[in-house]
Structure 1
Amino acid sequence: MSERSLSSAWLSSWASAVSGVLGEMTEEFESKHGFPPGTNQIRPADHGDQEAVRVLGSDARASADLVTFYASIGEVSSADVGNGYFIHPARDVLEHFAVYGAVRVGESQEPCGLVIGSDGGGLSYVLAPEGSVHRTRAASLDDCELDRVADDLRHFLELLERSLVRFVATGEPGYL
């Protein structure tokens, strides 16, 4: 396990910090924006998520960090941060793969990336088998162009946390 690999302890600390930021944002949201907030939470993995985690863990496209993530965290929803940021539940990742297949990442000849999340503007986040995270340039996944946004899942989660903190402080989420 490398220093950058996810662990349940690191994820617990990250989830606690991010939940605090989302809670602070939600408390002030209606008074700042004039309407009630949507869903802004980190949902811990429950018993129902575990079967999807087992299936995902048997797929070579899923990095060890993704399996570790989903063993602890069921999903992330920050609907009111910019257009929104979402890390989909493992069963949704599997369903998307079953229906649409994998996404071509980089110079790979074969589609190999898994769609793990999205923003509220229609862009998707794709995890490559080696662990890097990419964002689509358009809402379509057909022959899509991707931009690398994080070196690994931990880096992506750190960037997400920074975007949430920035949004609470300034109202601007940045561009993740």
Structure 2
Amino acid sequence: MTDEFERRHGFPPGTNAVRPTDHDDRAAARTLARMTLVPADLVTFYDSIGELTWEDVGNGYFIDPPGAVLLLLKDCGAVDVDTDHRASGLAIGSNGGGLSYVVGPGGVVYRTRTASLDTPEVDRVADDLRHFLELLEQSLTQFIANGEPGHL
């Protein structure tokens, strides 16, 4: 992705990496695993991947490390993902435009419509974490091919 980036865009690429899990990530993932609102797929993801940072794919895509997810949960609480406040999710990342990605009950992934996590309106973007990761991959593939990311 970064080979032709500067020539295409006129400035050097930022951080674009998938960081493997380290000891601290695994400890935080084990803590997440004990919480009822955390889907098993997310814990499995954090067993291998500690963080995803793609600053230059569109506005950017970010999946936060499990320690940051825990800290946000502690500081802000779970995120409501329905208008009746019956279902809550966990903010796991964001795009460079200020919108957050929230994994909800059963692993469904939502994107907030605004930057606030206080009673946000959300749109469903993926049926589960695997589907969400496939959409991220498609966006990266499209960006490499033509410099324009898919919309996620």
Task: Give the TM-score normalised by structure 2.
Answer: 0.96
CA RMSD, aligned part only?
1.2
- 2:123 corresponds in structure 1 to 147
Of 107, 112, 118, the match for 1:131: 107
| Partner SS for 2:25 | helix
* Residue 44 of structure 2 corresponds to residue 68 of structure 1: yes
Distance 1:144 1:107, change over 3 A: closer
Give the C-alpha shift of residue 110 in structure 1.
4.2
Deviation digits for residues 78-105 of structure 1, max 9, x if unmatched? 1000100000000010000000000011
**Of 42, 45, 48, which aligns to 2:18?**
42
2:51 corresponds to which letter in structure 1? E
Question: Larger % of helix: which?
Answer: 1
> Is residue 105 of structure 2 the alignment partner of residue 119 of structure 1?
no
Which residue of structure 2 lines up, in the alignment, with residue 51 of structure 1? 27
Give the Å deviation of 1:111.
Answer: 5.5
Higher strand share: 2
User: Contact between 1:60 and 1:129, CA under 8 Å: does it hold in 2?
Assistant: no
Unaligned runs of 5+ in 1: 1-24
Count of residues in correspondence between the two structures: 152
Identity over aligned pairs, percent = 62
Alpha-carbon distance between aligned partners in 2 of 1:108 and 1:143, rounded to the nearest angstrom: 10
Pair 1:52–1:108, CA change in 2 (3 A): farther
CA distance in 2, matches of 1:93, 1:108: 24
* C-alpha distance in structure 2 between counterparts of 1:118 and 1:53, whole Å: 19
Per-residue CA shift, 1:27-66, capped at 9, x if unaligned? 2111221211111011010112111011011011110000
Mapped partners of 1:48, 1:172: distance in 2: 35
Which has the higher mean CA deviation after the structures are superposed, 147-156 or 136-145? 136-145
1:79 aligned residue: 55
Partner in structure 1 of residue 71 of structure 2: 95
1:112-161: CA deviation from partner (whole Å, max 9, x where unpaired):
20000100000000000210000001111122100000000000000000
Cα gap change, 1:108 to 1:67, in 2 (>3 Å): farther
Aligned-residue offset at 1:106: 2.2
Contact 1:103 1:114 in 2 (8 A): yes
Residue 76 of structure 1 and its aligned partner are, at CA, apart by 0.5
SS in 1 for 2:145: helix
Structure 1 stretches of at least 4 aligned residues deviating more than 6 Å after TM superposition:
none
SS of the equivalent of 2:101 reads strand
Amino acid at match of 1:157: L
Unpaired segments ≥5 residues, structure 2: none
SS in structure 1 at match of 2:116: coil
The answer to whether the 8 A contact 1:74-1:89 is kept is: yes
